[in-house]
Amino acid sequence: MKQQVLVTAVGKDRIGIVDDLSKEILDRSCNIEESRMALLGGDFAILLLISGPADRLARLIKDKNLLENRLQLTIQMGYTAASPNTINAIPYILESSSLDTPGIVHSVSTVLRRYGINITDLETNTESAPMTGAPLFIIKAQLLIPTDVSIISLRKELEELELNYNLDLRLRPAM
């Protein structure tokens, strides 16, 4: 069975962070299978799923402190299990735009949790509205909705959120 390590790294933004970290991973004969990276404020955040031979993954973990010093990053690493089976779920996309107000992510995630819906990817962003320049809060989430969930009931609860937070929510099957 293939072993995998989950790596998170955060540091002050600078040109070359991705190049430097990916070189260190490659130098240890490991492979980046999945990644998410983003500039958040003045920091760059990295989330990686790494695979490789067991001895090379162990070496990568052992070298954590060396890598932190060399790359000027705060790094966490640990083994992770394979993703759970998702046969009894249907992939959906949830998107929203609204004026930026506190509590939107919490309210949406509370409804999804109540239905046993797994959020597999969530991205939020604040942008300026085209005409007014007012701050808009944008959500894009990939979901796995269990096959026994009533989409009609879920949509009703999401519509209540739309009214309470003045959201524009769109739920659609992922294609």
175 residues of the chain, pLDDT tens digit each: 679 999 999 999 999 999 999 999 999 999 999 999 999 999 999 999 999 999 999 999 999 999 999 999 999 999 998 776 667 999 999 999 998 888 999 999 999 999 999 999 999 999 888 888 888 999 999 999 999 999 999 999 999 999 988 899 999 999 7
In this structure, the answer to whether residues 55 and 113 fall within a common structural domain is no
In this structure, the answer to whether residues 71 and 101 fall within a common structural domain is no
67 φ/ψ angles, rounded to the nearest 5 degrees = -65, -40
End position of a domain, from candidates 29, 47, 80: 80
The CA-to-CA distance between both ends of the chain, in Å, stands at 30
End position of a domain, from candidates 80, 105, 121: 80
Coil, helix or strand at residue 98: strand
Give the length of the chain: 175
Question: Mean pLDDT for the chain?
Answer: 94
Distance, CA of 46 to chain centre:
10
Q: pTM for the complete prediction?
A: 0.83
In this structure, the answer to whether residues 93 and 168 fall within a common structural domain is yes
CA distances from 149 to 74, 153, 159 (A): 40, 8, 16
Alpha carbons 88 and 93: distance in angstroms, whole number: 17
